[in-house]
Amino acid sequence: MRYFVQRLGFLLLSLWAAITINFVLPRFMPGNPAEAMIARYQGRLSPMVLHSLEIEFGISNQPLWVQYGAYLQNLAHGNFGLSITYYPVPVIQIIANSLPWTLGLAGTATVISSVLGVVLGIIAAWRRGGKLDTVLPLITMFTTALPYQWLGLLILYVFGYLLGWFPTAHAYTATLTPSLTPPFIGNVLVHAILPASTIVITAVGGWLLGMRNNMINTLGEDYVVFAEAKGVKDRRLMFMYAARNAILPSLTGFGMALGFVVGGSVLVETIFSYPGVGYQLVAAVQNEDYPLMQGLFLIIAVSVLLANFIVEMLYGRVDPRVRRGGARA
């Protein structure tokens, strides 16, 4: 219970921090970016819109704390402002349209890469010095250093253009109407394979190497040797005694790992024109659509923070020392 309250407190604190960073950045960056943006849109947008932008980005004589209060109030009502590029579509609506795609893509890719990496890491450490253990770390050292966009472009080129096995862009075929029917879902899956593979290939290595090292350390622990001595069979020894303990540090680093995946999905979505928040973020950045950019950044941060919170709750279930009080991990 204490753990739950503690983690919930941290979640709220980090949410507040993300929200505040979003408020502070446009106001304190050198060169006053918001003013520059508004100047650029002068004449292209109606004076009323410009005025609302001025208020939103603090180009007014109101003191900061009043602006901050108004900003928080708007957020609380789900009012993220209006997009400039898609004027007058509210930012919240663009988020609502794009977020599910990213959650699906980055979420699936995270699950696949973490499960794959953890399992391969366990096996590599278990067969220490074997073929798998010699080759896998070398391969992953290379794949983790691959730039997302580069790998994405090559995969797109080879499997999309040259071989033509998979569609080269978008989340589903434009002629189809979104529905929960098997053909449509199949269509979505086929579109997701290349971008998801790009993320999995670059993200799996971190999990693998981390798990392998933790596992090797854990295999040297007395309780694993003791369990081996008392006759526990290999499979149970490997999973219930070694891996159950070795995975704990990987879980605590989950938030950071997810941050990498989300960062990668920004680039990957751009390459595959995948209509998620990352794609929209890059579009907003290129169009200098600050209201949209702010809203998207906030939603990305909030999603990662929430996912991290969920994993922390799971962690509490896996580690009895956290679940039943006592030493904090």
Is residue 165 a contact point for other proteins (CB under 8 A)? Answer: no
Contacts of 211 (CB under 8 A, 6+ apart): 117, 118, 120, 121, 122, 125, 246, 247, 250
Residue 281 interacts with other proteins (CB under 8 A): yes or no: yes
Considering only 69, 88, 178, 320, the residue that binds other proteins (CB under 8 A) is 320
- Does residue 279 touch other proteins according to CB under 8 A? no
Of 256, 234, 255, 273, residue with least CA distance to 314: 255
Could you say whether residue 255 binds other proteins (CB under 8 A)? Answer: yes
313 binds other proteins (CB under 8 A): no
> Minimum Å distance from CB 50 to other proteins?
19
262 lies in the binding site for other proteins (CB under 8 A): yes
Closest approach, Cβ 61 to other proteins, in A, equals: 22
Q: How far is the CB of 207 from other proteins (least distance, A)?
A: 14
Q: Is 113 in the site for other proteins (CB under 8 A)?
A: no
> Under a CB-based contact definition with an 8 Å cutoff, are residues 318 and 245 in contact?
no
Are the C-beta atoms of 223 and 241 separated by less than 8 Å?
yes
Encoded amino acid at 59, one letter: I
Asked if residue 18 binds other proteins (CB under 8 A), the reply is yes
- Within 187-216, the residues that bind other proteins by CB under 8 A are 213, 216
Task: Please pick, from the candidates 96, 115, 135, 141, the single residue that binds other proteins as defined by CB under 8 A.
Answer: 141
Phi, psi angle pair for 293, to nearest 5°: -60, -45
Beta strands in 105-147 (DSSP E): none
Nearer Cβ to other proteins, position 48 or 327?
327
82 DSSP assignment: B
* CA separation for the pair 96, 277 (Å, rounded): 9
Whole-Å CA distances, 155 to 27, 146, 292, 293: 40, 12, 30, 28
Quick one: tokens of 12?
A: 């709220």
CB of 193 to other proteins, least distance (A): 19
Nearest CB to other proteins, comparing residues 172 and 254: 254
**Is residue 132 at the binding interface for other proteins, with CB under 8 A as the rule?**
no
> Could you give the CA distance from residue 249 to residue 268 in angstroms, rounded to a whole number?
28
Work out how close the CB of 285 gets to other proteins at its nearest, in angstroms, rounded to a whole number: 4
Span 19-58, contacts to other proteins by CB under 8 A? 21, 25-26, 29-31, 33, 36
